[in-house]
Amino acid sequence: MDKVRIYQKEINGESLVGGEILDPEATLADLLEAWQPLCDDTAIYKQYAADNHASCKACIANCCNTAYVIPDLIAFRRMALALNCDYPEFIAEYFQADKVELGLPRLSPNPCCFLQEGICTVYPVRSLICRFYICTGLTGDTEQLIYDLAWIGAAATISFARERGILPPGADGGYSSFDLLFKGLLDEYRDDPRIELFLQAIEYNDIPLKPFLVK
């Protein structure tokens, strides 16, 4: 039996994707496994896809070109390992230096430092922000679930890096409007008790979905 069901529904004329957790013991890995096929599902409405129904692969819009990606902690560790870098080397080589100085570990953008000829070179270990993004609307509860998972995971990365002295604590100024938006989100989640799930986890299957479900 599937632990997570992904579905599409019409609400007020808008086509939305939602997720239903079928097993109370389901993990983040189960959600990711159910979500992945959406990328190549041409039946799903996609705002930027050709004729609104196409695979994400080779999409000319390629959102990776401009995305503001702060990786969740599991992805941060896995990417560093895959690139054979220790954590300070990883930050120094692959993150935007001026944002790091502000305490925001943003992957180097425009395009993403891992994008080559439109292809992600770290696809198997990419971050939650990248895994969950699909250019279609989501039902409210599903959007909140994904939002919490991605940003609590990113807040865990910042906590992890600051504890090890490889990320500055931040600055009094120098933030762009986008920086301030993401800084506000990360500050909001910094004291969320669910951050400990990411700090203690090794893989996505170590993170239960139950604490993230809307009650």
62: its two tokens: 């390629």
Q: What is the pLDDT of residue 69?
A: 95
Give the domain range for residue 110.
58-206
- pLDDT the model gives residue 13: 80
Average pLDDT per consecutive 10 residues, the chain (215 residues; last block may be shorter): 91 89 97 93 84 78 82 98 97 96 94 88 95 91 96 97 94 91 91 96 98 83
Is 90 inside a domain boundary? yes
Residue 8 lies in a domain: no
Please report whether residue 110 resides in a domain.
Answer: yes
- Rg (C-alpha) for the chain, rounded Å, is 17
- Any domain includes 117: yes
- State the pLDDT at residue 215: 59
Q: Dmax of the chain from CA atoms?
A: 52
pTM of the entire predicted model: 0.93
Asked whether residue 46 is domain-assigned, the answer is no
Q: What is the number of domains present in the chain?
A: 1
pLDDT tens-digit map of 121-139: 999 999 999 999 988 899 9
Does some domain include residue 51? no
Are the CB atoms for 209 and 21 separated by under 8 Å?
Answer: yes
Spatial distance between the Cα atoms of 112 and 69, rounded to a whole number of angstroms: 9
Residues 6+ away with beta carbon under 8 Å from 145? 19, 31, 209, 212, 213, 214
Q: Is residue 212 part of a domain?
A: no
Q: Is residue 73 part of a domain?
A: yes
